[in-house]
């Protein structure tokens, strides 16, 4: 047992040090998987622990401590994206270039592997998928994750995001198209997935 661990064990309940000992690895992985930058992940975990410490009286035990901390971290990541994230116009312009003035294809979308299941066995695919998901504007990503990834019902997703169903679908469509464009550009395993 190192010094740090000894300190954690002597900490009182709710101490940020204990949270870090009990949930630090989970928080770290969660942040790193979403921002892909160890320095930023470190900063976000630290901010989350401090925020949790300041708001410790609001924790009523209706969720587990880990869920509560991950929720705070999730908010910190969304907030960071909101402050720093810019929509990626690169993909929009690619979409526009794809068709000629008559609306017919001028750049072939390329051929992706026929068997998605085989591609999804490959860790590189998920690395690329995660990276592309992280590049989406936060409002678009939230809608996509709720509806497509978590399979939340449309009405519940609209209530969570405070938007209309039509708006939700616009965001989901935009996210799906952007992910397609991003994967085609960034993951060589999908070659010839030309943009």
Partner 1 sequence: MKQSSIHDFFHASSAPCCQHPPMMHDVLDDRASWGTRLGLRFHLLLCGPCRKLMHQLRFVSKAAQRADQELVRRATIIQNMPGDVRDRIVQRVRDHSA
**Which positions lie near partner 1, rule CB under 8 A?**
2, 4, 7, 16-17, 20, 24-30, 32-33, 38, 42, 45-46, 49-50, 53-54, 98-99, 102-105, 108-112, 114, 116, 119-120, 123, 125-126, 129-130, 133, 144, 148-151, 169, 172-173, 176-177, 179-180, 183-184, 193
* Distance (Å, whole) CA 107 – CA 99: 7
Identify which of residues 78 and 119 has a Cβ nearer to partner 1 in the complex.
119
Min dist. Cβ of residue 68 to partner 1 (A): 16
Which residue in 82, 39, 48 sits closest to 67, CA to CA?
48
* Distance (Å, whole) CA 171 – CA 192: 27
Identify which of residues 84 and 121 has a Cβ nearer to partner 1 in the complex.
121
- Dmax (CA) of the chain: 72
Min dist. Cβ of residue 176 to partner 1 (A): 5
By the 10 Å C-beta count (0-12 exposed, 13-18 middle, 19+ buried), 87 is classed as middle
Identify which of residues 84 and 97 has a Cβ nearer to partner 1 in the complex.
97
Q: How many helices (H) and strands (E) does the chain have?
A: 10, 0
Min dist. Cβ of residue 75 to partner 1 (A): 18
């Amino acid at each position: 047992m190192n010094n740090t661990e000894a300190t954690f064990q002597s900490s009182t309940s709710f101490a940020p040090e204990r949270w870090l000992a009990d949930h630090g690895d989970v928080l770290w992985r969660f942040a790193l998987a979403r921002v892909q930058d160890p320095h930023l992940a470190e900063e976000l975990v630290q901010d989350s622990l401090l925020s949790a410490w300041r708001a410790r009286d609001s924790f009523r035990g209706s969720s587990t401590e880990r869920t509560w901390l991950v929720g705070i971290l999730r908010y910190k990541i969304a907030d960071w994206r909101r402050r720093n994230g810019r929509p990626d116009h690169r993909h929009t312009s690619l979409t526009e270039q794809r068709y000629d003035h008559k609306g017919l294809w001028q750049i072939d979308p390329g051929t992706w592997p026929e068997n998605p299941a085989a591609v999804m066995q490959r860790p590189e695919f998920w690395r690329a998928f995660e990276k592309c998901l992280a590049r989406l504007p936060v409002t678009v990503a939230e809608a996509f994750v709720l509806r497509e990834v978590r399979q939340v019902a449309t009405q519940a997703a609209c209530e969570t995001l405070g938007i209309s169903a039509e708006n939700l679908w616009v965001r989901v469509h935009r996210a799906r198209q952007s992910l397609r464009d991003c994967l085609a550009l960034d993951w060589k395993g999908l070659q010839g997935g030309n943009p």
